Amino acid sequence: MSEGIDAPIRVLIVDDQALMRAGFRALLDAEDGIEVVGEAANGREGLELARLHTPDIALVDVQMPVMTGIEATRAIAADPLLSGVHVVILTNYGLDEYVFDALRAGAAGFLLKDTEPAELLHAVRVAARGDALLSPAITRRLIGEFVARPPDRTTAPGFETLTRREREVSALAARGLTNEEIAAHMVISPFTAKTHISRAMTKLGARDRAQLVVFAYESGLVTARER
């Protein structure tokens, strides 16, 4: 996030629908502590503006001309200069393959375009803190829909360096548990649980908790349960 205790959360909006961009801008600009730094009509423009403004949050539509939201997300995640940019995918379609592909590409989470205004504002603040924009309920739904059949099972670099505790907290996070629930399960403090998760993310090169969930399943650390 931008430096300074009172610095506003800087948001970039990337959507090919002008009306949608205008609606998001009006909502975000009216909120104290949030500033819209730019708008883009496709993924390529979004990537260029991300490099120009280095926002805290990029709200990115999935399907756009020139460069899709997934392609833009992958490019942002691959750029070391944009490591502080948290991509939140916008979709009309709910939990579809686009969403999981976006999480694999490096997105911090996703929102439905018809989400309530209060939920959108909350999501921006959550993602800006570096927390995964995946509530336990959404994580479990995501697991049920897609992770039971990942197309390419691979082991993330650094996976073998995880300690037993780090593997355990990663598995619990991948099942949708919060830090508090993980702490209760392992009989440790929430701070210790968060520390283990942070260390696991660092070793795996995960940008956020959402990617930790993806790595945990694709590496076979946990397997999807029956819905």
Give the pLDDT confidence score for residue 27 in this predicted structure. 94
What pLDDT band is residue 132 in, cutting at 50, 70 and 90?
low
What pLDDT band is residue 58 in, cutting at 50, 70 and 90?
very high
Range 166-190 average pLDDT = 86
Looking up tokens 């209060």 gives 118
In the predicted model, is pLDDT for residue 63 greater than 70?
yes
Give the pLDDT confidence score for residue 36 in this predicted structure. 96
Contact 179, 136 (CB under 8 A): no
Range 165-181 average pLDDT = 84
DSSP for the chain?
--SSTTPPEEEEEE-S-HHHHHHHHHHHHTSTTEEEEEEESSHHHHHHHHHHH--SEEEEESS-SSS-HHHHHHHHHH-GGGTTPEEEEEESSSSSHHHHHHHHHT--EEEETT--HHHHHHHHHHHHTT--B--HHHHHHHIIIIITS-SS--PPTTGGG--HHHHHHHHHHHTT--HHHHHHHHTS-HHHHHHHHHHHHHHHT-SSHHHHHHHHHHTTSS-PPP-
In the predicted model, is pLDDT for residue 209 greater than 90?
no
Please tell me which residue, 57 or 98, carries the higher pLDDT value: 57
Give the pLDDT confidence score for residue 227 in this predicted structure. 36
Range 99-123 average pLDDT = 81
Kindly report the average pLDDT of the chain as a whole number.
81
Other C-beta atoms lying within 10 Å of the C-beta of residue 39: 19
In the predicted model, is pLDDT for residue 23 greater than 50?
yes
Q: Which residue from 219, 140, 125, 225 is spatially nearest to 177, judged by alpha carbons?
A: 140
Task: Give the tens place of pLDDT for each residue, 64-101.
Answer: 989 999 999 999 988 999 988 999 888 876 555 676 77
Q: Is the pTM of this model over 0.85?
A: no
Lowest mean pLDDT among 28-37, 54-63, 77-86, 156-165: 156-165
- pLDDT above 70 covers what percent of the chain? 80
In the predicted model, is pLDDT for residue 2 greater than 60?
no
d(CA 176, CA 151): 21
Task: Give the tens place of pLDDT for each residue, 146-168.
Answer: 555 555 555 566 778 889 999 89
